[in-house]
């Protein structure tokens, strides 16, 4: 017993050193323009790995939209000149970037000769300084089908999975996946992961933790009604093989849409919005876990995340998860377009949820929010319309989403609207990118801007890894996501 007490004392002390809890803050710098074009630029995305960051966007060249990239080696404090990473003479759209160490991969949708879009990819082994195959980027889907669209990516270490919707015959879209074990240097090939072939599948979202992957999407119930239900599939070998897709929600007579999913270790949580009989929408969730390499969903376990009051549209959920801690953020609209940004959190992988808290509200609208969650903090970012200007606002939580800091504007614009914001983090480093429309008649174009921030936890940080994990406690219990480490973290936060 004495040895056990000593052991626990050492671990508690280690967590106080490795995971400081007090005087926590996130400090943003001044934003800077990344694109340098006289043409419009849109749809930015960003990834961070340690001190490295890569931002991507689409940019018009007068004839076509192309994918450009810029990289940083100092946590987003300065950026390289933009570089073209594909020069195919067709339109590109929806670029997304992921990183692991110095490796980076970008995927996007590109017209293939005509108006049919395919999923393309390019790879960098040096943090975005150089790119392979700009003239002929890899094609990840079966190019013989129709449009590939609604792509989503997820990465864990060097393992990466991409999902998308595509019709093989021009009739009904199905969900496909492709995977890489080397951050996009090579790919295994497309796999169909939805089983239904007589109704439409769309809007897939994917998440990965280690080798566990889960994808969720909305599946048309009946072409005659155009109602959608939520379905999901999972893989326990990083997307090499998949199980059989299954229903997630329990609302067969209602409309369910816009699903999102999160995976942490073996835990899986999905969220979506569902219309009630009056047409108002509500936020729902369901949970499951990997067991013996398989996942089983129980639709009857779906939970309502907010009240059942009518007169509101609760929609556009974003979910983030670390260990057993889960945060969901969404927009609540009323009939007058007054908007609230709301959040709930769970400390037990979605088994139960807190009451909603409000991060922000606007009489003119809140849009395009995003959410990230690290071990010691979470950050939400969104577009805030004050009636005359659309600003970029953020809020941070240092207690797994139980409370949030006051909203803070992080863009420097006093004249022009901002939109399409994205955010990424690694350890204590955060980077956000967004588009800004300069409406001056002499300019009249959109450019891409970036801002960076750092997390400060106070106290001393020792033996901390790239993602802020305490090596002492994590090694003792086998994983930074272990329940025992979470208990020590919560004990630390209470004192």
Separation CA 112–CA 476 (nearest Å): 52
Rounded to 10 deg, the angle between the 2-18 and 483-493 helix axes is 70
pLDDT for the residue 465: 42
pLDDT for the residue 16: 47
CA-based nearest residue to 66, from 89, 42, 92, 40: 92
Separation CA 370–CA 430 (nearest Å): 13
Q: Which of 249-263, 402-416, 451-465 has the lowest mean pLDDT?
A: 451-465
Q: Tell me the mean pLDDT in the region 353-361.
A: 97
What confidence category does residue 139 fall into, taking pLDDT thresholds of 50, 70 and 90? very high
pLDDT for the residue 462: 36
Give the DSSP per-residue string, 400-412.
Answer: TTSS-PPPEE---
CA-based nearest residue to 254, from 194, 204, 318, 304: 304
Q: Tell me the mean pLDDT in the region 124-129.
A: 97
Tell me the H-state helices in 384-479.
Answer: 471-477
Separation CA 472–CA 310 (nearest Å): 50
Encoding tokens for residue 20? 């400081």
Separation CA 346–CA 115 (nearest Å): 44
What region does 414 belong to: left with phi over 0, alpha with psi -120 to 50, or beta?
alpha
Q: DSSP character for 2?
A: H
Q: What is the pLDDT of residues 271-318, one digit of tens each?
A: 999 999 889 999 999 999 999 999 999 999 999 999 877 899 999 999
Determine contact, residues 259/271, Cβ cutoff 8 Å.
Answer: yes
Whether the CA torsion 436, 450, 314, 215 is positive or negative: it is positive
Residue 13 pLDDT > 70? no
Could you tell me the pTM of the whole model?
0.88
Phi, psi of 430 (to 5 degrees): -125, 145
DSSP, collapsed to helix, strand or coil, labels residue 4 as helix
- Classify residue 367 as exposed, middle or buried by CB count within 10 Å of its CB (0-12, 13-18, 19+): middle
pLDDT for the residue 428: 97
Whether the CA torsion 352, 357, 359, 362 is positive or negative: it is positive
């Amino acid at each position: 017993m004495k040895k056990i007490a000593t052991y626990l004392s050492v671990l508690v002390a280690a967590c106080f050193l490795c995971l400081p809890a007090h005087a926590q803050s996130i400090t943003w710098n001044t934003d800077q323009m990344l694109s340098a074009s006289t043409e419009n630029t849109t749809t930015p995305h960003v990834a961070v790995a340690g001190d490295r960051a890569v931002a991507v966007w689409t940019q018009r060249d007068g004839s076509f939209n192309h994918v450009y990239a810029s990289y940083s080696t100092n946590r987003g404090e300065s950026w390289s000149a933009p570089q073209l990473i594909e020069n195919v003479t067709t339109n590109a759209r929806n670029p997304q970037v992921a990183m692991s160490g110095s490796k980076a991969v970008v995927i996007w949708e590109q017209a293939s000769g005509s108006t049919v879009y395919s999923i393309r990819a390019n790879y960098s082994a040096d943090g975005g300084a150089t790119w392979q195959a700009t003239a002929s980027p890899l094609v990840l889907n079966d190019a013989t089908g129709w449009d590939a669209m609604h792509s989503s990516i997820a990465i864990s270490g060097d393992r990466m999975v991409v999902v998308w919707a595509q019709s093989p015959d021009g009739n009904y879209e199905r969900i496909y996946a492709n995977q890489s074990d080397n951050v996009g240097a090579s790919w295994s090939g497309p796999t169909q992961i939805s089983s239904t072939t007589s109704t439409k599948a769309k809007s897939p979202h994917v998440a990965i933790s280690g080798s566990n992957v889960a994808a969720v999407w909305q599946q048309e119930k009946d072409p005659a009604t155009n109602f959608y239900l939520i379905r999901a599939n999972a893989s326990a070998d990083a997307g090499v093989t998949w199980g059989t897709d299954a229903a997630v929600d329990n609302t067969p007579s209602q409309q369910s849409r816009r699903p999102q999913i999160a995976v942490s270790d073996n835990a899986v949580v999905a969220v979506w919005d569902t219309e009630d009989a009056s047409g108002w929408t509500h936020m729902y969730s369901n949970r499951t876990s990997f067991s013996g390499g398989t996942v089983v969903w129980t639709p009857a376990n779906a939970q309502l995340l907010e009240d059942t009051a009518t007169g509101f549209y609760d929609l556009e959920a974003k979910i983030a998860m670390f260990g057993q801690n889960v945060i969901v953020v969404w927009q609540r609209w009323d009939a007058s377009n007054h908007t609230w940004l709301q959040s709930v959190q769970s400390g037990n992988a979605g088994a139960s949820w807190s009451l909603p808290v409000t991060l922000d509200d606007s009489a003119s609208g809140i849009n395009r929010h995003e959410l990230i969650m690290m071990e010691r903090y979470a950050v939400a970012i969104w577009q805030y319309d004050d009636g005359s200007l659309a600003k970029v606002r953020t809020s941070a939580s240092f207690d797994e989403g139980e409370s949030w800091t006051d909203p803070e504007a992080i863009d420097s614009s006093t004249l022009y609207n901002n939109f399409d914001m994205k955010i990424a983090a690694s350890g204590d480093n955060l980077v956000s990118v967004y588009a800004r429309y300069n409406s001056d008649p002499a300019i009249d174009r959109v450019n891409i801007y970036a801002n960076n921030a750092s997390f400060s936890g106070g106290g001393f940080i020792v033996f901390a890894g790239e993602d802020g994990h305490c090596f002492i406690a994590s090694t003792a219990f086998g994983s930074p996501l272990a329940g025992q480490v979470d208990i020590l973290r919560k004990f630390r936060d209470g004192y």
